[in-house]
Structure 1
């Protein structure tokens, strides 16, 4: 089943070019009418400014005391040494949907999933039917966060919607698993069936030599064929790696995959699941702390629909929990927020991360205008919410809410898609021990093994 590129998650609401600018410290934004659990405190909010104003905030990556925030118009870098007072260090104007970010060894990787006139940050939109159009991965040197330098670009056949970093064992290179989808017979560089992923190898000493080194086929049988409610598989949306166990979970439109990544240039499918009854679009994945479970998100409606209503119900637009037994995925249950949202609030399962609590499986997850939820899936069959934050519907009505909400070194960070970069704290005996886990770097799609 073919569907047009109309999902909010996929459209390129891009702006003009601005200068690299430095910002000032964040200010609190009143949460008039917000509903929340008693264990959640809103610490700070930094509204979009400068060249990113009017863009869409997307993903977040972390290194040391710095956060990197993607935006359809570029990216921003924040000092989060004091989570209650994040300070904007710099912004880079570099339009290109959807500008998901990751960081590694002083390099920042940026996904461009909209057809552009060239690979520069001064490019303009250009039809993908034109052979010379460009989409792919941009690489920046961010060792000096006040002066990021654009150093390389790698074109990929269908652009780069999201990407996942997998360091090689010797730490001389990093592999970038590139996810993209929606091929079209009129696109010279993105022809159907797009049954593969592209793998980019980046030599750390010479990142300008980054190049596609493999394009393994994951769906030799074509993948999920589509249904009245579910997308046919024509690529992957997102991949989450768990390098400590040499596995990855790939969310691929109509399919959920478990991959063996022990040989990074030759990933192999070791299990595959489908859910024609309830899943529309396999969107992303999160492992638990020891890699014995994985949850997959279903982005029903593409992020732009009101999917948290009684009419939609508890099993659609939800998160599915799987145990991993003998390298096989075993479905256990669905999780979805129970606070019904209004019909003018876009709400669906979206990006989240684990909160590292030894002996428990707890994560925080974004639900767009459904806010975010902290929930426990230690009992895979009986997940339960233990915290939340939820603003009233936007006035006037429109797209908004939290795109990504992640836990990092004692605080919760969220990208309110059309407003701000927000910081929260959870104070709860069930999660307090997580603050003792300190990471030097976090790309949520490259999960560390906290224990196991």
Structure 2
């Protein structure tokens, strides 16, 4: 019995977001972007609760985008120089933002740094999105690569654990959890292989993505004492502990592990997770799928999760990291639709009403122009996707792009297997609004230079709390 049939039999309402036709009618226009707006340094994007505004992390701050007219998205405001007055300021390497209600969370830095930097998250009241008002700053002793935000809590991943912070009033740490809390054997695994990369929160559950260790479902009804309910996928601590430290780097880039992001549908019956991976010496000449993939899991019985289907990455002529990169990245599941990004491989919509047989409804890509970081539902009429500027294959144009929320086919889609690599073009310097009077002299881009001491790695990077991993090791992985 499929999930939709099960829910009907159980008398449960099935969340729906309109009806997508399975095929394109003869009169329907080709599937293509509705509009776009340039945003230098764009990474993660989220849609505000009223679906008229999107918030985009820009590495040196954040941008507020009016999407009320999807054919003409427009930047309302760009904030940079955040906390420039503090030691180590301004905030830098801001890759993640989250929004709920009238709150916006802006976290940094995504990765560890040897020099002093601001670490923590800002909260803004975005009742008036044209003029976000800073309401709080919560300082941490660790970088924040990703976060989740609910009305009462922020969930932060610091590489080795998830940290829960109350945000209903003044931000206050409530509790922490790490895999070793569920099984001390995880402490014997190299930090690269049990890396807390992302977190998703819904109700009294948090879904913590731990790279090769898999995805953990936590009961966070008592935030001071989170407990593991189950682990989905991944390899055992005993297996991972056998991997020598000098081999951890290549394993962290390779399938079959690399849990990157996870989220559940509205009733938490279906979990979607993706794996971010590239071809390496470990996958050459084997039957292991070298690129990452998206998996759908039935989690109605949390302690007995069942993998239902796998969506493989698009092929490319040169799938190695930094080339024609088509491994999956961030996504959103809303109702019976999955909106996903695949870097140079573009964006896709899948119908997951039958999660054993996800159906591709739309796929659009233009790797010469855009490489996509995320895809997020906006309304029944459209969704948004952010393009970042880190790829070598594309022209390096950061942007927020709007797409029709329907089935369709791209006219003359480029072949990722034989397209020539263009020469990247520089992005224009954006105009911005300093976040405080003391930050007016801060340049609009504060991303560390290529020879700086910043530490990063494919998909996650080294957070300071990861501990025993050397800076020299991580330099080998830098973009």
TM-score by length of 2: 0.63
Is 1:250 equivalent to 2:208 in the alignment? yes
Matched with 2:324 is: 345
Alignment of 1:348-363 (within 5 A): 348-356=327-335, 361-363=336-338
CA distance in 1: counterparts of 2:334 and 2:317, whole angstroms: 25
2: CA distance between counterparts of 1:424 and 1:312?
36
Cα distance, 1:225–1:382 mapped onto 2, change above 3 Å: farther
Question: Could you tell me whether the CA contact under 8 Å between 1:345 and 1:393 is conserved in 2?
Answer: no
What aligned pairs does 1:63-74 form with structure 2 within 5 A after superposition?
A: 63-64=49-50, 65-74=52-61
Partner of residue 178, structure 1 = 156
Hey, which of these two has a bigger chunk of helix by percent? 2
Partner of residue 136, structure 1: 120
d(CA) in 2 for partners of 1:62, 1:310: 46
User: Cα offset for 1:63?
Assistant: 2.7
Match in the other structure for 2:43: 57
Query: Do the aligned partners of residues 38 and 349 (structure 1) sit closer, same or farther apart at CA in structure 2, a change above 3 Å counting?
Result: farther
The structural deviation recorded for 1:114 is 4.9
Normalization by structure 1: what TM-score? 0.66
Residues 1:406 and 2:376 aligned together: yes
Distance 1:392 1:165 in 2: 31
Offset at 1:288? 2.6
What value does the CA root-mean-square deviation take over the aligned residues? 3.2
C-alpha offsets along residues 140-166 of structure 1, whole Å, 9 cap, x if unaligned? 232332322333221223221111123
Match of 1:42 among 25, 33, 53: 33
- 1:197 is the counterpart of 2:176: no
Structure possessing the higher radius of gyration over alpha carbons: 2
1:211 is displaced (CA, Å) by 2.1
Q: CA deviation at 1:233?
A: 0.8
From 197, 209, 212, the equivalent of 2:173 is: 212
Distance 1:325 1:315 in 2: 30
Contact 2:110–2:146 (Cα < 8 Å) also in 1: no
Contact 2:95 2:108 in 1 (8 A): yes
* 1:330 to 1:424, Cα distance in 2 relative to 1, 3 A: same
Give the drift of 1:297.
0.9
- The equivalent residue for 1:294 is 271
Q: Structure 2: which 5+ residue stretches go unaligned? A: 1-27, 83-90, 236-253, 390-397, 409-479
User: What displacement does 1:263 show?
Assistant: 2.8
Paired residue for 1:7?
A: none
CA distance in 1 between counterparts of 2:143 and 2:62 reads 18
Measure the CA separation in 2 of the matches of 1:376 and 1:311: 31
- Asked if 2 retains the 8 angstrom alpha-carbon contact of 1:197 and 1:218, the reply is no
Q: Tell me the equivalent position of 1:449.
A: none
Larger strand share, 1 or 2: 1
1:269 equivalenced with 2:224 (yes/no) = no
Partner of 1:272, secondary structure, is strand
Cα distance in 2, alignment partners of residues 79 and 97 from structure 1: 24
CA contact (8 A) 2:175 2:223 kept: no
What residue number does 2:339 align with? 364
SS class of match (1:289): coil
Corresponding residue to 2:306 among 323, 327, 330: 330
Q: Is the 8 A contact 2:95 2:110 kept in 1?
A: no
Shift of 1:260: 1.8
Higher relative contact order (CA 8 A, sep 6+): 2
8 Å contact kept, 1:62–1:68: yes
Q: Deviations over 1:301-325 (max 9, x none)?
A: 5xx99xxx99997574111221114
Shift of 1:291: 1.4
| Match among 207, 219, 226 for residue 260 of structure 1 | 219
- SS of the aligned residue for 2:186 comes to coil
* Equivalent residues, number: 336
Structure 2 CA distance for aligned equivalents of residues 338 and 114 of structure 1: 27
1:73-132 CA-to-partner distances (Å, cap 9, x unmatched) read 11111122222222211110144223311123432111102579xxxxxxxxx625x5xx
- Work out which of the residue numbers 84, 101, 105 in structure 1 matches 2:97: 101
